Amino acid sequence: MLPASMEFLFLLFVNLVVGAVGFIPSVVLTAVNIQSFGLYGGSALTFIGEIVGALLGFYLYRFGFSKANPKWLRHPFWQKFQHQSTKRVFSLVILLRVLPFMPSGFVTAGAALTNISGKLFWIASTIGKIPAVVLELAAVYGVVQFVPVNIQLFLFGIILVVSIALWQLERIKTAKQKKSPQSAD
């Protein structure tokens, strides 16, 4: 058993990683946060992880895209996306963050492809994440309060396994596409 301060720092790190990656459902971690530190401490961990993690993810995606093969960026879809005004990207980030089941990584990666600054992305992301995180916290807190722990672990385990399976399937699909002969764009 870790001391509370070490547990907090460990969970803070995990929350930041999950927030930065953006493809791992944070609902599982939100439950752990609440069970470990109560509603207020768990909520603080969840908010910090979501908001600061998104900013870290933004810079990581932007760095990764700068090192990636630019051929896929020439696709008309990405070209249109890249040529949006900063004001439009700002609004889209807010709108997409408010949607509860929109993958956070998709929004972060998409914004990283545009010319929006890190500061404006962080502001828009924070504005949009506040209602989404509040809804997540309310739902998870309800589950934590009324559903027995063994059922919670089972449900969260299923969410985690399905997420990992979907991620692996996507990786396999991407690898197969890279191996097959590419058609002209």
Tens digits of per-residue pLDDT, 58-70? 999 999 888 877 7
- From the list 172, 57, 43, the residue with the least C-alpha distance to 103 is 57
Torsion of CA 66, 72, 78, 80, to 10 degrees: 110
145 is written with which tokens?
A: 């309060």
- Stretches in the chain below the pLDDT threshold 70: 1-2, 77, 100-101, 180-185
CB-based burial label for 163 (10 Å; 0-12, 13-18, 19+): middle
Please name the residue that has the structure tokens 């889209």.
92
pLDDT digits (tens, 9 = 90+) for 25-47: 788 788 889 988 999 999 999 99
- Provide the whole-model pTM: 0.76
Q: Are 163 and 156 in contact (CB under 8 A)?
A: no
Instruction: List Cβ neighbours of 95 (8 Å cut-off, separation of 6 or more).
Output: 128
The pLDDT of residue 4 is: 81
The pLDDT of residue 182 is: 54
The pLDDT of residue 104 is: 85
Please write down the HEC assignment for all residues of 18-67.
HHHHCCCCCHHHHHHHHHHHHHHHHHHHHHHHHHHHHHHHHHHHHHHHHH
The pLDDT of residue 122 is: 95
Instruction: List Cβ neighbours of 104 (8 Å cut-off, separation of 6 or more).
Output: 19, 22, 23, 26, 50, 54, 57, 97
Q: What does DSSP assign to residue 68? A: S
The pLDDT of residue 184 is: 47
